[in-house]
Structure 1
Amino acid sequence: MNRRYFLIGTGVIFSQLLIGCSDNKTRLTVELLKNSLPAQVVDEFRRTLKSNTDINIALVEQFKDVFNKLETWQKPTQPKNDLFGWFRRLSSGNSGNENKISTDLVSLGDYWLQGAIEKKLIQPIDVSKVQQWSVLPQQYRELVTRNDKGFVDPQGKIWGAPYRWGNTVIVYRRDKFEEKKWAPIKDWADLWRPELRDRISLLNHPREVIGLVLKRLNKSYNETDLKSITELERELNNLNQQVKFYGSTQYIEPLLIGDTLAAVGWSQDILPALANYRDLAVVVPQSGTAQSVDLWVNPSGRQSQQELVTQWINFLWQPKIARQIATRTRSHSPIPIKIETSEIPEALRSSLIISQNILDKSEFILPLPVEVEQQYINLFESMKKS
């Protein structure tokens, strides 16, 4: 993402926050992951609204912040030592947290969806009037249809509306590889190459790291019996010898200064910045990878502006708007759209134009039973100590 785009985006959103709610307009309030939606899209949506309606946008840095805020909203407000305030709450039946929730929709990653549902932090979304719901490919509809424990269930309710998706990818120093006449990285197995010993970084995430090793072994990210995969622990320990550090945020900077030569990260973070760093190359592993989806979810306890919520989701799922989101944020649209190769910068084409063969081998990281998730955590901690 270039500097100009960032400045336009934050400028528009900042001005929206300054407007406040002193007028009598009906407002849709949205908390949005920073850099995940072009400011131009918000402006176009605003032009479709009636004169007595508007949209307010606030930015959040990462999904962890969103999840923490959802948790905070569900905690009862400590009663003030105020007799009149106590009487007002008593007479209105207010439990103490309704007034805190002023947001209709927040963006959340699909990995966080299970916890948000199980903790009752969000409520189902009514898609009965979302015309584009039937156009959304089946795998995305299945991903957000879950039971009250947060597990995928075809008989469950709809808990989110996808608006973009990305992959777990490998980014590496192309210039250094060319200088040393090393073969380019193409797949997960390349991370075990001798020349990369102590020169890579991995995400600090049990499901991602163990998942990439499982893919190398032609297994699934969502295996439920890790103990039955006899070679898994050995491969994890060998991979750990290649690792300089584990981190889920600052993995591009060590590449730029030469501390590492390759890193595993999320395409939504890496691709927007790639235009500024031509010495870096990105690859979607050939044996398949993890796909991650950004969703709109509805906080529990919020009596949302349902008509505006529906209008917002419908608007973002229009093919023209979905194309803008995908091309401007260097990501993929869940709505089927056609993007010409010429619309994608050459350095990003191998990452954004993904072969059907790779897509067929890729997966969402799905929630697993608690005891299985603990297997992943224990194995990951053991790996880092090896």
Structure 2
Amino acid sequence: MNRRSFLAGASGVTLATLLAGCQRSSAANLRLAMVPNSVPAQLLKAFQQLPERGSSVAVTPQDSLLKLYSLLQDWHGEGNELAPMADWVSLADYWLAPAIRQELVQPIEVASVSRWGDLNQVWLDLVRRDRSGTPNPEGSIWAVPYRWSHLVLLYDPTRLPRQAAQLKTWADLLRPELARRLVLPDHPRLVLGLAQKALKSSANSADPAAVSGLNTFLAELHQQVRAYDSNYYLESLIVGDATAVVGWSDDVLPLLRQYRHLAVAVPLEGTLLSAQLWVRPQAVPAPAPAATDWLNFCLGDDFATQLAIFGHTTSPLLWGVDPQQRPEPLQTPPEIVLTPAIADQSEFLLPLKAEAEDRYGRLWQSLRA
């Protein structure tokens, strides 16, 4: 059982049931490729039922971001007869740079995206890049964001000393009662990034070894870790194998509804961010009206509200919005909310130059050894 299927089961809803109305025939006038539930099925149905222009939607589901990336590579090569090319592919921002460098995607014309001007500058900075995939204010727009989440601490306070039953910062991960009771993501940039945030440094430092105290912090952190796991970390906490885990807010939020004894925190030093983006495969011709309609739909107020209700996550339109003005499902518990003050200290993981990537790789290997 992987993390995504676990959460679907916990909510009592299956994608297959809700997608019963989605088209998979050659008559579909909009094709999407995505990880199941990255767009809740209720929203796919709502788009198909729009009165002004009903559109049939064909979904090519892939069970991981890696498989979505492989799909882009297939379409860039000889194609994949079993999966007709999609108009839009859902891609995490971390994968955008290599997709641009390998020419798997094409720039997007956003003049017809009506709410584009309403997006905060943080989104333009994220998706405007040069041909090497590096953020560049003079570059092209390569993607349209439609949801985002942030890294949080999820923990069981009943397993902590009563007088200190709260975790508030990344530095709290070094507390002695968490020895061998911590699960971290199995991802070098995330682990090294949160360690740098704990030390009030950037998660995108060109040379992590130059961050004062980082090696010591990582050595102590590693002693706390029960496992590095990006798939089963929530289950580890629920069954009692771990006292604290680090995971994404949109994975954690539905769990907090069901397991009310758990607690959550967004570290005060700032956290790491992740966005889901729509990208256009390189070989797809100019977008049809339905493809443009889809982008406008994904940047609409109704989409933002229903994404919060059914997807437990946040629309780019809500970046920087006062927590009290967000949809109710994103307000509780208040400890999971990314406040504007913490958001200012938070970062997306940006592409690094080859020599910097090598430094991170060596540091990660040394840590795991």
Residues 1:99 and 1:184: Cα distance change in structure 2 (over 3 Å): closer
Q: Which amino acid aligns with 2:169?
A: D
Q: Does the aligned pair in 2 maintain the 1:28–1:305 contact within 8 Å?
A: no
- 1: distance between equivalents of 2:82 and 2:153? 44
Match of 1:80 in 2: none
Residues 1:159 and 1:232: Cα distance change in structure 2 (over 3 Å): same
How many residues were matched structurally? 360
**2:248 matched to 1:263?**
no
- 2: distance between equivalents of 1:186 and 1:200? 15
Equivalent residue runs for 1:106-255 within 5 Å: 106-177=89-160, 180-255=162-237
Q: Does the aligned pair in 1 maintain the 2:157–2:165 contact within 8 Å?
A: no
Match of 1:35 in 2: 37
Describe the superposition over 1:13-72 as per-residue Cα deviations: whole angstroms up to 9, x where unpaired.
24424x522xxx461101222222222222221122667842222332221221121122
State which of 20, 35, 41 in structure 1 corresponds to 2:25.
Answer: 20
State which of 334, 337, 341 in structure 2 corresponds to 1:349.
Answer: 334
Q: Which amino acid aligns with 1:125?
A: I
- 1: distance between equivalents of 2:226 and 2:85? 43
Match of 2:357 in 1: 373
- 2: distance between equivalents of 1:216 and 1:345? 25
Q: Which amino acid aligns with 1:172?
A: Y
Can you give the 5+ residue segments of structure 2 that lack an aligned partner in the other structure? 1-6
Equivalent residue runs for 1:258-337 within 5 Å: 258-303=240-285, 305-336=287-318
Percent identity over the alignment?
35
Can you give the 5+ residue segments of structure 1 that lack an aligned partner in the other structure? 78-96
Which structure: larger Rg? 1
- 1: distance between equivalents of 2:81 and 2:111? 26
Q: Which amino acid aligns with 1:314?
A: N
Describe the superposition over 1:82-115 as per-residue Cα deviations: whole angstroms up to 9, x where unpaired.
xxxxxxxxxxxxxxx7996521111111011111
Q: Which amino acid aligns with 1:357?
A: A
Q: Does the aligned pair in 2 maintain the 1:27–1:53 contact within 8 Å?
A: yes
Deviation of 1:265 (Å): 1.4
SS at match of 1:204: coil
**2:62 matched to 1:60?**
yes
Question: TM (normalized to structure 1)?
Answer: 0.86
Residues 1:76 and 1:127: Cα distance change in structure 2 (over 3 Å): same
Residues 1:2 and 1:205: Cα distance change in structure 2 (over 3 Å): closer
Residues 1:14 and 1:295: Cα distance change in structure 2 (over 3 Å): same
Match of 1:102 in 2: 85
Equivalent residue runs for 1:68-87 within 5 Å: 68-76=70-78
Residues 1:108 and 1:73: Cα distance change in structure 2 (over 3 Å): same
Structure 1 stretches of 4+ with a deviation exceeding 4 A read 1-6, 49-53, 97-101, 337-342
- 2: distance between equivalents of 1:170 and 1:213? 13
Q: Does the aligned pair in 2 maintain the 1:168–1:266 contact within 8 Å?
A: yes
SS at match of 2:137: coil
Residues 1:43 and 1:100: Cα distance change in structure 2 (over 3 Å): closer
Match of 1:44 in 2: 46
Q: Which amino acid aligns with 1:360?
A: D
- 2: distance between equivalents of 1:361 and 1:191? 19
Q: Which amino acid aligns with 2:18?
A: V
Q: Does the aligned pair in 2 maintain the 1:197–1:241 contact within 8 Å?
A: yes
Deviation of 1:309 (Å): 1.6
Q: Which amino acid aligns with 1:238?
A: E
Residues 1:100 and 1:254: Cα distance change in structure 2 (over 3 Å): closer
Describe the superposition over 1:167-187 as per-residue Cα deviations: whole angstroms up to 9, x where unpaired.
011111133236x54330111
Question: TM (normalized to structure 2)?
Answer: 0.90
- 2: distance between equivalents of 1:267 and 1:334? 15
Describe the superposition over 1:212-248 as per-residue Cα deviations: whole angstroms up to 9, x where unpaired.
1111111011111223224211111111100111111
Describe the superposition over 1:140-185 as per-residue Cα deviations: whole angstroms up to 9, x where unpaired.
011000111111011111111101110011111133236x543301
- 2: distance between equivalents of 1:111 and 1:304? 25
Deviation of 1:374 (Å): 1.2
Residues 1:49 and 1:27: Cα distance change in structure 2 (over 3 Å): farther
- 2: distance between equivalents of 1:99 and 1:261? 44
SS at match of 1:7: coil
Q: Does the aligned pair in 2 maintain the 1:26–1:52 contact within 8 Å?
A: no
Does 340-349 or 232-241 show the bigger shift? 340-349
- 2: distance between equivalents of 1:362 and 1:210? 14
Residues 1:321 and 1:174: Cα distance change in structure 2 (over 3 Å): same
Does 282-291 or 63-72 show the bigger shift? 63-72
